[in-house]
Amino acid sequence: MRRQSAGSPVFNAPFSNTRSVAELVIGELLLLLRGVPEANAKAHRGVWNKLAAGSFEARGKKLGIIGYGHIGTQLGILAESLGMYVYFYDIENKLPLGNATQVQHLSDLLNMSDVVSLHVPENPSTKNMMGAKEISLMKPGSLLINASRGTVVDIPALCDALASKHLAGAAIDVFPTEPATNSDPFTSPLCEFDNVLLTPHIGGSTQEAQENIGLEVAGKLIKYSDNGSTLSAVNFPEVSLPLHGGRRLMHIHETVRAC
């Protein structure tokens, strides 16, 4: 990392967009359960298709959350307020919030959930973690939502599950390859499905989240400058020092191993 080699800490804001992402997932969940994406697409083409078949309330449905971190926990709380039963799978034991229940095996979560929502980091162990095998374990007619990282879902496998109607729909906010700018074209094999919500990586794109990110990162930089705190730096050891009224000199050393 270039900043680390230059002796500069890099800070992020892991909590600032949590609510925004969780709210987007809740909105997508409700729209998918009611079949709104497909009805909307058909109405735009002049097709009037007023049906109750395939349209459901959120109340009483089972939400399976994969990755019970900052966003997963917020999502669970919001889902419970709608009367949903919340289950989660995580590689670590986590304290459940509300009435959420941790499931020990991913396959069990996939088997039981009416809606599966992904909230995991991008690393080698999560690449294509939702492939053909995992998607086949999901309940027939269930829904898949990905607002985490684009490499987590095998897109061709998802297309196959949608084409065969094994899944009733999906909402995808992140993609394996994304346009570099808003002026670049976007293409995906998922574009052919009316029952899929596609959004341009906007999970954390709210006015509130962007303001919170600026304030949080600025506050961390001030604490680092004034007090030497490196808490939540992504490239430095975490150091939290007490407040002081005098001056403090900080030396940053690089550990170099001998050949």
Q: Which of helix, strand or coil describes residue 250?
A: coil
What are the phi and psi torsion angles at 55 (to 5°)? Answer: -115, 125
253 is catalytic: no
100 near 76, Cβ under 8 Å? yes
Beta-ladder partners of 66? 89, 118
Q: Which of 19, 134, 149, 216 is catalytic?
A: 149
Q: Which residues of 105-131 are buried (b: 16+ CB within 10 A; e: fewer)?
A: ebeebbebbbbbbbbbeeeeebeebbe
Which among 13, 9, 14, 11 is positioned nearest to 236, based on CA atoms? 9
158 near 135, Cβ under 8 Å? yes
70 near 15, Cβ under 8 Å? yes
- Using CA atoms, how far residue 74 sits from 121, 155, 169, in Å, is 16, 26, 23
What one-letter code names the amino acid at 94?
Answer: K
Q: Which of 57, 178, 192, 208 is catalytic?
A: 178
Which among 78, 35, 30 is positioned nearest to 58, based on CA atoms? 30
| Residues with catalytic roles | 149, 178, 201
